[in-house]
Amino acid sequence: MLDLKPLWEIQLLDSQRKALEIKLKEGQISKDLKALRSEIEQGRADFDKLKEKYNSLKKELKKKEMDAAAATEQVDHLGQKLYSGTITNIKEINTSKIKLDSLKSVVNKTEDEILNIMEHLDSLRAQLEKKSVELNKKADEFRKMHGTYLANQQKIKSVLAQLPLSRQKILDKLDINLWNKYQEMKKRFNDPLAKVEKGICLGCRMGVPFNDLRLLKHGADLVYCSNCGRLLFWER
């Protein structure tokens, strides 16, 4: 009685090897890692732009505060001269009052601008803090995913390393003529051996004639699918 099970096991091992090699090369988690890394890089770029804007506003705030302080100092100095009686000339007094009003207007305007800048800085600071938390969270997620990815890759490599030995053990017990026949059929099919379940060839999903099923179950000779031409295997 012909025993095709070892040949079936070799075909399964070869299919497993191909599937693992594909998974090793382009696993879904690798795609997820790339997508997450892209998000992190974009997030950092946005954070840096926001930080640059924040620092620029801080410099502007410092300048405005210095302008306001200088203008306030001029107001105090001119006010002291004006109301202390130091200035007695009517024309000079009027000119000084106009200048004082102008300086006070500059101070008020600058202080309003300072308040607006401070409010903007508070808003930017809140955005920076939020983005920092989000980036740290994504960085932690990336590290965990990367660790899982490396562990999975190592596991796949370990399984792949064991497959040749398992395959060779089966191959050593296989009939050489049967193996040569299988190798010849590999030129036509990736999976020359098709399992039969419930009277169906799983290679082409077509029904196997009753007489072929009888011969297959008897196991005295090789039986081929009359539709696709694959070698049929019926597991006892």
Q: Which tens digits make up the pLDDT trace of 120-153?
A: 999 999 999 999 999 999 999 999 999 988 898 8
Q: Looking at residue 27, what is its pLDDT?
A: 64
How far is residue 7 from each of residues 3, 154, 174, 192, 205, measured CA to CA in Å?
Answer: 8, 28, 7, 10, 20
- Beta bridge pairs of residue 193: 231
**Residue with tokens 């009517």, as numbered in its chain:** 90
Per CATH, the number for 23-174 is 1.10.287.1700
The two most distant CA atoms of the chain are separated, in Å, by 133
| Nearest partner of 56 among 124, 129, 10, judged by Cα | 124
Cα 62–Cα 102–Cα 118 angle in degrees, nearest 5: 25
Rounded CA separation 212/217 (Å): 9
Note the pLDDT tens digit of each residue in 62-116.
Answer: 999 999 999 999 999 988 887 887 877 888 888 989 999 999 999 999 999 999 9
pLDDT at residue 183 above 90?
yes
Listed by start position, the domains of the chain span 23-174, 177-233
